[in-house]
Amino acid sequence: MLGVVLFILTLCSFTALSNGTELTFRLPDNEKQCFYQELQEGVTFHVNYQVIAGGNYDVDCFVTDPENNAVYDERKKQYDSLTHTTAMKGVYKVCFSNEFSTFSHKTVYLDFRSGEEELLPPGMARPTALTQIESTCLSIHEMLKVVADSQTRYRLREAQDRTRAEDLNERVSYWSIGETLIICVVSIGQVLMLKSFFKEKATTTKT
């Protein structure tokens, strides 16, 4: 049993060494933020992004190679993904722009991964057949990756729904306050109007 646990921990540490970055950042209005990654030639990288909050939930995204040639260029997208194999060595740039927005801040989720993950850790890459424990642990490892990806999607969906609900609640609150003020103003106006009618009647009676 202890050997199985140690083997699973080895798989987890091996996965942690893969070149990947997940982050959520705030993108103010009229601003652009870029992320840089140096890659070798022939390396495949994956970019996934989604706007979680702000405005119409859209953002401009573009990716350029070391010679500043456009690899990906999309405007006002809520979410998208990109898979690309590098043709040259150098620094690749991933940029997000909110310059088209004048007052809406955006919250963007980015998942950047480069390189192909090896199916087996270095110690298991041998020509002999895998034992039953090793095969079972590899199956568990693959299932855990699927579960982690599903949890990420659910967290993003939950964060987006929560933000929309908070925005809706804020709008309803402001609308309720506005209706209350209008009702108070109309009520005061009606009272003043009725008082003016009685004053005119009293002045006419005295004369």
Q: What are phi and psi of 153, to 5 degrees?
A: -65, -40
Domain boundary assignment for the chain: 2-161
Q: Quick check: 61 and 112 in contact, CB under 8 A?
A: no
Q: Quick check: 63 and 39 in contact, CB under 8 A?
A: no
Give the per-residue pLDDT at 34: 92
Residue pLDDT, tens place only, 77-98: 888 889 999 999 999 999 999 9
Give the per-residue pLDDT at 36: 92
Residue pLDDT, tens place only, 153-191: 777 778 777 877 887 888 899 899 999 999 999 989 888
Cα separation, 117 vs 14, in Å, equals 10
What predicted TM-score, i.e. pTM, was given to this entire model?
A: 0.63
Give the per-residue pLDDT at 17: 36
The tokens describing 68, both together, are 């500043």
Amino acid at 192: L
Residue reference for tokens 């401009």:
60
Tens place of pLDDT per residue across the chain (207 aa): 433 333 333 334 334 334 678 888 899 988 999 999 999 988 899 999 988 888 888 899 999 999 999 999 999 988 888 999 999 999 999 999 998 888 888 889 998 988 766 555 555 555 556 677 767 777 787 788 778 777 777 777 787 778 778 878 888 998 999 999 999 999 898 888 888 777 766 555 555
Give the per-residue pLDDT at 60: 93
Highest CATH level, class, for 2-161? mainly beta
